[in-house]
Chains A and B, each alone.
Chain A
């Protein structure tokens, strides 16, 4: 709590906004959550606000999607097609990006704030049904959320005619079955509809044609968890956190070659240096940081020089060092890691997760995986590295969805920015040049 304003300040040592269970471990119990002011925003929204007002507040707050795209949340809600009914909300709890583990902690520790965010979003777009799409591996989490939803229903916070108004809302959980591609919003909608989890053509976008062909808002778990606080404390308060263009706090999932990997809730604009060295405890052993992957496996590799380390982590600044912030799943690579080995790992992942609908991704990831495999094995030549670069450039820009493009990020930036690693890998090859 900020002494002057009385509003929550940036989370630091016990002032969590999202990971509130770290302050109050029992916040997963309904009475505890309500005692701390939980569901007051929900009641306020239903009883005293118009749906459009809710959307405006979220717009003004500058909240951006936390799933990776960083799209302004309020604007997405405003795009909903009001001539086509009913509307749906789908919370994206698929969380399959390697290096991302923030949503899981939110749902395990602070489920009610998340569910309240889902509910407020539903009210804002006047949806009467909301779905939480969880990856198949989260089946225990789904059961946990089901219990929490049941508790909310028993307490009259969900169900028919809430707070004496005509508005009804039901939230349902839905399990996936082990596909990363179902984290892509249109593939997720296909999956909920019971079809093969493959992305759809866009346009049309979900706010006009979504679940079952109806307008749908799809938001990440973390994004929605911010919403009750914005309603409770106001858009201006939220703007005061983070940076001007990237408002609010973000949970950074730190992993890789650091002493203390884990989730860190910090304001947007915190530098890489602070995250890795102050909070993360620095690099293990006495190695040096070599590269940073800011967006999980889908990242470009950032060369970890001084400039990069001092770059603030927000949606505008990270592109200056040739990458995207994405979902802020910061994987730290030290100098013991061979970059060819790293991109071989990411390529195996993307080849396994490609849905197969479009040709470049389906065939391209398969081909690139074979090439990186050979490079790592030591049976490749420099021509193969150039071929890999060629193939990656061939895949880029031609795919139906972002998975194909992202699969080439690490490969292309790896070859471009860490060329000596590759030369080393092929130097020891048995195959004559």
Chain B
């Protein structure tokens, strides 16, 4: 790496060749003002704010040597015009003047030009207080305006670009950051420039408007108040807000976020969350976050939240005190003994899972993770090691994404993988149907639904000399030239990462897939080094954490629950997900199992319960989550807790204490300390370690908001990556035969970002993006079955089961494989894995 020395405003700095002057200046603490430049995008030099005087040493053409003055200093040649610092790379001996009279006049001129068209909106503009234009005007702008007010351009204000983002055309300074972000960074050019000259304006090309899951990021990087979110409109001024660090709970990426809160009069003086902003973590989400996290936090402040324990008396659930409820629960758990059956969902934090697990284990009971995805033990054996970072992956890395529609399952990982591919990584996308990642793939592998593990095994087999007997389906796949090429690229890459999701898989097929993935990594030697390993695209934020703490899903939950005498269900809603439970009227065994539900809302399962225990939302307490990359990150309390409320770990701990167990009931930090001492992977971790930060690049959130945007600086912790636990071994996974049915269709579950999940539906502002329940059929199948686009249909499982009453809209696509029905999860259609179904038109509209 060749280094270059130059002088900026009198300070010398040495930077790698190719560094832009703006970035070199940052290294010595000089902030050159910019509007259109953003460190995460290619420079365009269009706003002209960064104009500086640049002098270069004169080189003698004949000798190639620097011409010297009499005193030995190099003869400098200053350009006749000011040049833009954001587009000019450094060169040896360069002298940059940003504070000379000419440069300062240049900055003042540009600010004056921008202000001629800019409206007098500061008092009513949401950006006021964190506005780069305001700050730079104060620093560099003219004190008075020479422009006549009546000649100002009057344009449309308050234009909805979709229902999430408002555009104010008068405020826009045509810096192009939003357009370039959508085009270059997320490759979703749903907005663009229209017209030219002074009439240059932003328009949206999609219907619904600004149809991109990353649209909220443009409001962070917009240097003025032109792009604002409808969520935050007029809610508060930035200086009135308090900020608290947290982790997004909508997907396993674990984006670092910051909540802004303020006391609200209309809520009677309560602390209320006003908005969500991303927090910088270059190892997880860089400075971005997706719209689901940004606009999907409202469930934590929903009016439907449970506030009091409920106990069933005379057949009805009635409010009770904590003392009553907990004693009752403890008594019945004691009686149940090893008949205690705990079901926990992946929304719970590490501390919650630890305490509930400890309680269950101490009684000899069984604990089950609510989910349909396997392989969490394998990711602990062959996952990403500390130091791994998607941003560092490029030409020498192969990334295999199998059975995952990443854009829907984990948008930020989709973005990171796409960017790695654009940097030259080999991207192998293996999926039964086309997804949004295909455009960046170097290799595309198609396999039939149900044969995901087979596809990976086929890849292993093309690489190894020995070819053991393979099932028919796998043998066919081995012959595919795309698969062979993909396997070769994977093996030859220096580093390789596999991300596996849950596209069309249930627990068994998913477990087989995870094992096959691990086999491939072991066979090609891609384990145990930085930027190598297995990553699971879980369905919930802390599924990986649950696996680390010994929680496992089971294939047949009703069967597993048969012997239970007490059920302890936390953050899971089996009855809500599968109406079969409701039809039978009871969860668990034939004898009336004692049912305790611990949740935020009165779910369908809670309605069947004997005791309902309310808990705090993650915004009201602290804790930690383990992301899909196995990074443990802390989240902090954002709003004060309600009186007389407890976190999940505290509730479990209090029950345990009543049973005579030594459990932490008060502090999450102490719970974590116990967890760390008992779980090998977490050895040495503590809340203090999780709160450590390092300096990150690009610089955000300092006084120079114009450089990186309004993303928050991370001062509360970047988290710690867990080390690998044990070594995994090659093992032949149990391949489940998922054949195509002779009659009927094969329904497979897929994930959709905007679904009917209970943590998303309370966000009414996203309702336009959340469709009614639907399934996707192959268009030829639909024609055969005489189902037209938009028809209301019902799915009847071949094995029986009462899905009656659950209807969906049929959507027809040609890229769905034949005889397949895609059923999105969390829409009320209980498809837990590949299931044979028959399809019929819904007879009548059901209320």
Chain A residues engaging chain B, CB cutoff 8 angstroms: 179, 181, 196-198, 201, 351-360, 362-367, 370, 387, 394, 397-400
Contacts and interface: CB of A to CB of B under 8 A. Distances in A.
Given A196-B193, A355-B197, A366-B153, 4 more contacts: A201-B87, A355-B196, A359-B49, A394-B109
B690 to A, nearest CB: 43
Contacts of B51: 398
Given A367-B116, A370-B148, A370-B151, A360 B109 contact: yes
B841 interface: no
Given A354-B196, A356-B197, A363 B45 contact: no
12 contacts: A181-B196, A196-B192, A356-B195, A356-B197, A357-B46, A359-B49, A363-B117, A363-B198, A365-B197, A366-B117, A366-B197, A394-B113
A356 B196 contact: yes
B174 interface: yes
Nearest to B35: A359
Contacts of A398: 48, 51, 81-82, 106, 109-110
Nearest to A354: B197
B200 interface: yes
B500 to A, nearest CB: 36
B112 interface: yes
Interface in B216-230: none
A217 to B, nearest CB: 24
Contacts of A360: 48, 109-110, 113
A180 to B, nearest CB: 10
B82 A397 contact: yes
A362 B174 contact: yes
B343 to A, nearest CB: 55
B45 A359 contact: no
Contacts of A362: 113, 174, 197-198, 200
B48 A356 contact: no
Contacts of B437: none
Contacts of A197: 196
Contacts of A352: 197
A163 B116 CA distance: 61
Interface string B142-157: 0000111001010000
B185 interface: no
Interface in B4-62: 43-49, 51
Contacts of B113: 359-360, 362-364, 367, 394
A400 B45 contact: yes
Nearest to B80: A397
Contact of B197 (A353, A359, A370, A399): A353
B196 to A, nearest CB: 5
A354 B198 contact: yes
B200 A356 contact: yes
Nearest to B79: A397
Given A363-B114, A387-B146, A201 B44 contact: yes
B199 interface: yes
Contacts of B173: 359
Contacts, number: 94
Nearest to A179: B196
B153 A359 contact: no
A354 B199 CA distance: 10
Interface of B: 43-49, 51, 80-82, 87, 106, 109-110, 112-114, 116-117, 146-148, 151, 153, 173-174, 176, 192-193, 195-200
A214 to B, nearest CB: 19
A363 B46 CA distance: 13
A352 B45 CA distance: 22
Contacts of A356: 174, 193, 195-200
A394 B196 contact: no
Contacts of A394: 109, 112-113
Nearest to B147: A367
A355 to B, nearest CB: 5
Nearest to B193: A196
Contacts of B44: 201, 357
Contacts of A354: 196-198
A363 B196 CA distance: 12
Residue among A197, A351, A359, A367 having the largest count of chain B Cβ atoms under 10 Å: A359
Nearest to A355: B196
Residue among B46, B81, B114 having the largest count of chain A Cβ atoms under 10 Å: B46
A359 B148 contact: no
Nearest to B117: A363
Contacts of B196: 179, 181, 196-198, 353-356
Contacts of B192: 196
A163 B689 CA distance: 76
A399 B47 CA distance: 9
Contact of A359 (B81, B114, B151): B114
A359 B146 contact: no
Given A356-B174, A359-B113, A394-B113, A201 B199 contact: no
Nearest to A350: B197
Contacts of B49: 359
Given A394-B113, A397-B81, A366 B47 contact: no
B198 A366 contact: yes
A399 B48 contact: yes
B110 A359 contact: yes
Contacts of A399: 48
B48 A359 contact: yes
Q: Which 4 A-B pairs have the closest CB atoms?
A: A356-B200, A363-B113, A354-B197, A394-B109
Contacts of A366: 116-117, 153, 197-198
Given A201-B44, A400-B45, A351 B106 contact: no
B107 to A, nearest CB: 10
Given A394-B109, A398-B110, A358 B48 contact: yes
A351 B196 CA distance: 10
A351 B110 contact: no
Contacts of A387: 146
B33 to A, nearest CB: 12
A366 to B, nearest CB: 4
Residue among B49, B112, B192 having the largest count of chain A Cβ atoms under 10 Å: B112
Nearest to B109: A394
Contacts of A357: 44, 46, 174, 176, 200
Residue among B45, B48, B49, B198 having the largest count of chain A Cβ atoms under 10 Å: B198
Contacts of A355: 196-197, 200
Nearest to B148: A370
Residue among B81, B153, B197, B200 having the largest count of chain A Cβ atoms under 10 Å: B197
A351 B82 contact: no
Residue among A179, A352, A394 having the largest count of chain B Cβ atoms under 10 Å: A394
Nearest to B179: A196
A191 to B, nearest CB: 12
Contact of B116 (A181, A351, A358, A363): A363
Contacts of A353: 196-197
A409 to B, nearest CB: 15
Contact of A400 (B46, B80, B198): B46
A227 B47 CA distance: 40
Contacts of A179: 196
Nearest to A363: B113
B198 to A, nearest CB: 4
A181 B193 CA distance: 16
A197 B113 CA distance: 22
